[in-house]
Structure 1
Amino acid sequence: MKGNTAKIAKTISETTQLPMDRLKKDQPVDIGNMEYIFFGSPVYNEHFPKAVLQFGRNHKWAGKKVAIFSTNIGWKAQQAIDEFGQIIASRGAHVVDTLSIQNRGIMSWTVGFGKLTEAEYEKARKWSLETQPKLLRSEF
């Protein structure tokens, strides 16, 4: 598995024991039967990739409870998460929580730019365990 977002998604999947799907151009993901979703994307140039934003616009999110996470180097990451959250909320989703995994500290320069540290994996594990019960609540 390559890419920081994929690595964090795998960590969340293993921690919550939920299946993981990956968006691919030639293999559409059907969210129709999903009630709750951990949704992750990298942030490039202050936004989620255009294909991810289009995925948000092209699907019916009514009744879905979604937790959004991103991997990024910190610049306007929450703005990108909020942008995607607004798109899917306008299509009926309830955004339960968000997480930004930022790799921009001094350690990122010493261990290799863009390389995740154990602290960032632990942050994702903790967040997913705290967020999963919120997704399962029925009052949303």
Structure 2
Amino acid sequence: MAHASLKKYQQTTKSAAQQATPYQLVAMLFQKLLDNISTAKGAISRNDFDKKGTEISNAIAIIGVLEGSLDFEQGGEISENLAALYKFCSDELFVASAANDIDKLESIIQIILPIKSGWDGIPFEEQNKVSF
């Protein structure tokens, strides 16, 4: 039963991603990134180091996608600043993973939250202009 529910969820998530606009895809990536880091925190507290490793690896991969989607020509200094923040967060995720440091993971969340909030605050009329 649980397997069928998981499969249905995965199909729904995949379908939603396929139908999403570029703006919505980035919003989904930010949310998944935060979810991965939060799950990694819980895994560390339970000494589930395999789960922690998987979640942090997924978080690093998402940061790579977010960084890869930056448009330095159009975004200029903002894109450069985001790239530096993404690099810092990715590096810190490696350190947090190696040290099983929940506080460091929380500090990464506190860096990502304002970026996500800014993204979520883009006016609807401007969302259609997002592309990659």
TM-score category, normalised to shorter length: 0.3 to 0.5
Structure with greater helix percent: 2
The structure number with the bigger radius of gyration is: 2
- TM-score of the pair, normalised by structure 2: 0.35
Structure with greater contact order relative to length (CA < 8 Å, sep ≥ 6)? 2
Structure with greater strand percent: 1
- TM-score of the pair, normalised by structure 1: 0.34
